Amino acid sequence: MQRPQPPVWKRAVPVVAAVLLVGWLISLGTVIVWGRRDTARPAGAIVVLGAAQYAGRPSPVLRARLDHAIDLWNRGLAARFVLTGGTGEGDTTSEAAVGRRYAIRHGVLAAAILLEPDGRTTAQSMHAVATLLRAEGRDSVILVSDPFHMLRLTILAHEAGLTPLLSPTRNSPISASWREEW
């Protein structure tokens, strides 16, 4: 006597679960690989992606991004220093403006800084940065953010017409906790 076959859905569930797991692992691996790439070399601008600011002071995440970008600036890798980041609900100043003050205090020339304080999403910020830089004949950028943002930033920068180079922070609280967990 033959055993009855289980319903199709019971046979399909493990297959679907395995496919989803493999897809997730491939995605995770891709993000990790892109987050480890540092392709910084001379470019038209260094672009620092915004992060929270508190009462006019950069959050630890924003400070880590700024410190990394300032290091790139001090190495002479770009003539422009672009800061992105809008004004959060209840804030009176933008992440970009806070970053500007911090960068100037740490040696970046005020005349070299461009602000993009209006983007509400990373995609909007990338398009606005592209517009600012195209007006000056620049399109190559060194993107500075946390490692897990690098793949997404690369895609968004390409969509905005920029030529991205990557330089993820290594000392951000987000990056440090991520490394400890993995």
Instruction: List the beta bridge partners of residue 163.
Output: 140
pLDDT given for residue 33 in this prediction? 65
**Residue in this structure with the two tokens 């992060």, named with its chain if needed:** 51
Distance CA 48, CA 68 (A): 9
- pLDDT tens per residue across span 54-102: 888 999 999 999 999 999 999 999 999 999 998 878 778 899 999 999 9
Instruction: List the beta bridge partners of residue 116.
Output: 84
User: What token pair was written down for 70?
Assistant: 């300032």
- pLDDT tens per residue across span 130-179: 999 999 999 999 999 999 888 999 999 999 999 999 999 988 787 655 44
Burial of 31 (0-12, 13-18, 19+ CB in 10 A): middle
pLDDT given for residue 161 in this prediction? 96
**Residue in this structure with the two tokens 């967990």, named with its chain if needed:** 181
Local structure of 88: helix, strand or coil:
coil
Supply the pTM of this predicted model: 0.83
Structural domains in the chain plus CATH codes: 43-181 (3.40.50.620)
